Amino acid sequence: MEMRELGRTGLSVTRLGLGLAEIPRHDDSYSDVQAAGRVLNSALDGGINFLDTAACYGETEEMMGKTVAHRRDEYVLATKCGHAVDGASGEPWTAGVIEESIDRSLRRLGTEYLDLVQLHSCALDVLERGEVIEALLRARDAGKTRFVGYSGDNEAAHWAVGSGHFDTLQTSFNLVEQHARSKGLLELARSKGVGVIIKRPVANGAWGKDRSPSSYADEYFRRAGIMRDMGPLEGEPEDPHVLAMGFVLAQPEVDTVIAGTHNPAHVRSNIEMVEETTPVPEAAFEELRRRFDEAGDDWRQLT
């Protein structure tokens, strides 16, 4: 699989990464350690080397520790912190909770170090206060993590990238949510040497389905309808997922894209799609950008 250097970190990451958030969102048959292990090992066996989890993603850190810790030298390991979960002894978005969360992640993941720890979508005022950033930097200086990042959107993401404190940015970007491009966030990240990790790349399948799978995705589906009503899309692939993923990967500032699933077959099909069927034609790429800009000035950015 094609690799990219993740900003100024020097880490080489695959264009497709695996997000672990989906594993605990399904029934118990998908939440046990064996099932998680099948997903994780399918990803690593297929060439994916970027794994992204979080302290608040259920038991995913423990699952990773129990199933792929012995393959630690095969992947770049990213987690997130900030929320007070699992009996944390302090208030969320405080130095104590950050420090406690990182130590707990190290134990659960079965590793001596993390490649990347990201603040998990905290608000702008939390960033400006500085306490959580200082805690992250202390963890980095102590060797608990190699790099630090911010995961989030909107004004907080712009502040984080501009601050110079963070090595990476994880933010929302897809064919119906292009504010990170249109408002200059991706360009700013590139200029600062900040690695760019994209979440929600296929917009919950909004381009190829008529019905939203959840209330969260309703706005994605509404926007997709507006953009599709502008007429046929020249060079559009038959598979809407190919269009969605190809659009994101064609954005020059994007280093890696995380796709979440609880199904090993989906992992394999995503790998095949990225390796064999992207990028999308230039005409389709440019037209999707034009349509979003024409219709999206007043659209709020989803987080």
Residue 52 has pLDDT above 90, yes or no: yes
103 closest CA partner among 111, 93, 92 = 111
Tens digits of residue pLDDT in 128-145: 999 999 999 999 999 999
Residue 55 has pLDDT above 60, yes or no: yes
Angle between helices 240-250 and 282-295 (to 10 degrees): 80
Residue 178 has pLDDT above 60, yes or no: yes
Taking residues 9-31, report their average pLDDT. Answer: 80
Q: What is the pLDDT of residue 294?
A: 92
**Distance between CA 31 and CA 23 in Å, rounded?**
6
Q: Please say whether the beta carbons of 291 and 230 come within 8 A.
A: yes
Taking residues 4-29, report their average pLDDT. Answer: 85
105 closest CA partner among 78, 140, 74, 70 = 78
3-class state of residue 303 by DSSP: coil
Residue 262 binned pLDDT confidence (cut-offs 50, 70, 90):
confident
Say which range, 20-29, 39-48, 84-93, 220-229, has the weakest mean pLDDT: 20-29
Residue 273 has pLDDT above 60, yes or no: yes
Residue 181 has pLDDT above 70, yes or no: yes
**Residue 31: how many CB atoms within 10 A of its CB?**
17
Residue 77 has pLDDT above 50, yes or no: yes
Residue 28 has pLDDT above 60, yes or no: no
| Tokens 């008529």 -> residue | 210
Taking residues 264-281, report their average pLDDT. Answer: 87
Q: Please say whether the beta carbons of 18 and 38 come within 8 A.
A: no
Residue 297 binned pLDDT confidence (cut-offs 50, 70, 90):
low
**CATH classification code of 3-205+253-275:** 3.20.20.100
Q: What is the pLDDT of residue 21?
A: 85
Residue 27 binned pLDDT confidence (cut-offs 50, 70, 90):
very low
Angle between helices 240-250 and 264-276 (to 10 degrees): 60
* Alpha-carbon dihedral 170, 283, 301, 153, rounded to 10 degrees: 10
How much is the pTM? 0.94
**Distance between CA 286 and CA 299 in Å, rounded?**
19
Residue 300 binned pLDDT confidence (cut-offs 50, 70, 90):
low
